[in-house]
Amino acid sequence: MGGRWSNMDPSEVDVPEINTLLERDPYLKPYEHEIRKRYALFKDYVEKIETGDRTLDKFSRSYKIFGIHINEDNSITAREWAPGAQELFLTGDFNNWNKTANSYKKLDFGKWELHLPPNADGTCPIKHLSEVKIIIKDHNNGLLERLSPWATYVTQNRSESVTYKQRLWYPLPENVYKFKYLKPKKPESLRIYECHVGIATQELKIGTYLEFAKEIIPRIVKQGYNTIQLMAIMEHAYYASFGYQVTSFYAASSRYGTPEELKYLIDAAHQHGLYVLLDIVHSHASKNTLDGLNMFDGTDACFFHTGNRGQHPLWDSRLFNYGEYEVLRFLLSNLRWYIEEYNFDGFRFDGVTSMLYHSRGFGQGFSGHYEEYYGLNVDVEGVVYLMLANHMLHYLYPEIITIAEDVSGMPGVCRPISEGGLGFDYRLAMAIPDKWIKLLKEVKDEDWKVGDICWTLMNRRWMEKTVAYSESHDQALVGDKTIAFWLMDKEMYTHMSTLSEPNPIISRGIALHNLIMLITHALGGEAYLNFMGNEFGHPEWLDFPRAGNLDSYHYARRQWNLVDDELLKYKFMNNWDRAVNTLEEKYGWLHAQPAYVSWKHEEDKVIVFDRADLIFVFNFHPVKSFADYTIGVKTAGTYKILLCSDDKDFGGESRVDTNVQHFTKPEPYSDYSNNMMIYIPCRTAIIYIRET
């Protein structure tokens, strides 16, 4: 693979097709100079890397060189970058914790190297699972204990200390997991199941990689999802941070099991045809010093900006210096590590807005004015890092998918780098869940504006793909509520039995839950995301064990028994979710052209749109049902119902005869030359297809 890069002249990196971007959006013309400047800086970085390390391929495989490695002759080679250190030492079980017995040799550019020969009997001087530490002698002659930034396995014994210990992970060859299954092809339609291994169990504990592989993956496949997004995999000291305070970037979290067991999980996903995304956190890092990157070489700098620029005040974390050559080595190699070592298929980049702006996106309301995206607030080094990451990933791995978590709406985030874009495949449609929560919290059903709903779902940049979702892990966290909980709240504790009398709050909740899911799925983007458990209206919030709840796991789990119980109504929302995903797999509306909304009626609360040769009809009215309701039809013919949310299987009242055929009339209606009459009950969604 390296040869693909080694013959590449930096000056021959794709010629920017920026004119294409400007023609598509003429409002970008005043910012052409800034767009071209970003591209020129990107080329400069590529050239610098090619000059310094010959190829980007070699540069981004630096995990093979840095850190602690066992050679074929059982000797040890260790390398680190610590420009602010006066001396470096390696200590551990192997030398009885003598802090200064084994010193590194100082190299150029702040690098250090240590070589340990094999033992006299030919065995390795550091055994598998041995604990090691790096000792940094700072310029005050202090000896600081640190973990290698390149550590691949760290463990935490909470009974002794919350601080992680680095352990050498070099199992015997027969104990190294060997992948058995090919990676799936990149899906045309992404249906993403966002999940957290630790909370995937029903028991009051932290779930494991093996449990997830055996018990959860079959559920995901049955539910019709084709992609999983694994969260909180990169090691983090504080479980309740949801994985967003990363301490060891190369270590898969040992909370859930060993590195080999994570490989088993990913292989099991591939066996079932699931594409696997990693939630990658390159936007910031934990402030921990004993087991994190902070102050690694004894200075405020090293991997991060110094002073205020290197501090994230709201997240209480450190911010990377993306302009530093060795930081680029560390982060780009980190991406390669998770693909090459663990077989991940793609990445969801967390906190992209923080990387794009000096304000880190906080205290700044993005109005959509282009000056916000090309002014002095833009952190160009962060922009160029993301261009480099996407350039490298898409060149080396054509089947990869990258997703940006960006709330700002910066133009070109999901356009090719050759156009002056950032090169992501998708961005999260973060305004959609905010709209649903606002409606549920603040607006009565009869006052919902269907035009406003459509605007929020369709307000995305042309030819920049988005991942639509009505709720993710953010909405499930304690302090907020899931959509199901906003809709039904305490009634879920007493009226979810199918044997109990119908309850108006529960009936309304299930109906609206299903409608919100479908309209978001079909109208909101080019991919769909659901957080684990929300497909069946998981009750209550998500709260990790912490001092504030007496270290309870009660809310840090998924209650699968609720959806598995045939006598409970959770199954209705689950059935609907599965039916919608199954239909999308067959008809592919997510990778079809965006929908055309042919009808929005505020008084009736009715929305009609077409996508992928299907007609979607929604009636959000709380009480009004409409017989012989006229809708416009693009293509004449006979239509049948594919799916109706009012069916009993979905918690409905079976008011619609789904076997009835509908015939069009050659009479114009709502921009179309044909129309047909339908029955659409209140709080109901129906999908129609033309019979052939």
How confident is the model over 71-107, as pLDDT tens digits? 999 999 999 999 999 999 999 999 999 999 999 999 9
pLDDT band of 174, cuts 50, 70, 90: very high
On the question of pLDDT at 388 being above 70, the answer is yes
Supply the pLDDT for residue 512: 98
Supply the pLDDT for residue 622: 98
Query: What values do phi and psi take at 132, rounded to 5?
Result: -135, 155
Digit-coded pLDDT (tens) for 189-211: 999 999 999 999 999 999 999 99
Supply the pLDDT for residue 16: 63
Query: Quick check: 518 and 647 in contact, CB under 8 A?
Result: no
On the question of pLDDT at 8 being above 60, the answer is no
Supply the pLDDT for residue 521: 98
Query: Quick check: 363 and 293 in contact, CB under 8 A?
Result: no
H or E, element range at 516? helix 504-523
When pLDDT is averaged across residues 237-251 and rounded to a whole number, the result is 94
Percent of the chain having pLDDT more than 90? 91
Query: Quick check: 665 and 676 in contact, CB under 8 A?
Result: yes
Digit-coded pLDDT (tens) for 22-58: 999 999 999 999 999 999 999 999 999 999 999 999 9
The DSSP letter of residue 336 is: H
When pLDDT is averaged across residues 632-639 and rounded to a whole number, the result is 97
Query: Quick check: 318 and 294 in contact, CB under 8 A?
Result: yes
pLDDT band of 363, cuts 50, 70, 90: confident
Supply the pLDDT for residue 101: 95
Greatest Cα pair distance in the chain: 93
On the question of pLDDT at 630 being above 90, the answer is yes
The token pair at 45 is: 């970085």
The larger pLDDT score, comparing residue 504 to residue 17, is at 504
Digit-coded pLDDT (tens) for 440-483: 999 999 999 999 999 999 999 999 999 999 999 888 777 778 99
pLDDT band of 366, cuts 50, 70, 90: confident
Supply the pLDDT for residue 15: 54
Q: What is the 3-state secondary structure (H, E, C) of 326-337?
A: HHHHHHHHHHHH
Supply the pLDDT for residue 145: 98
* The one-letter amino acid at 683: R
On the question of pLDDT at 1 being above 60, the answer is no
Average model confidence (pLDDT) for the chain?
A: 95
When pLDDT is averaged across residues 575-593 and rounded to a whole number, the result is 98
What is the distance between the terminal CA atoms of the chain, rounded to a whole angstrom? 48
The DSSP letter of residue 480 is: B
Supply the pLDDT for residue 47: 95
Active site residues: 350, 405
Supply the pLDDT for residue 582: 98
Short-list 513, 428, 412, 518, CA closest to 468: 428
Supply the pLDDT for residue 688: 98
Supply the pLDDT for residue 3: 36
Supply the pLDDT for residue 7: 39
Query: Quick check: 424 and 414 in contact, CB under 8 A?
Result: yes
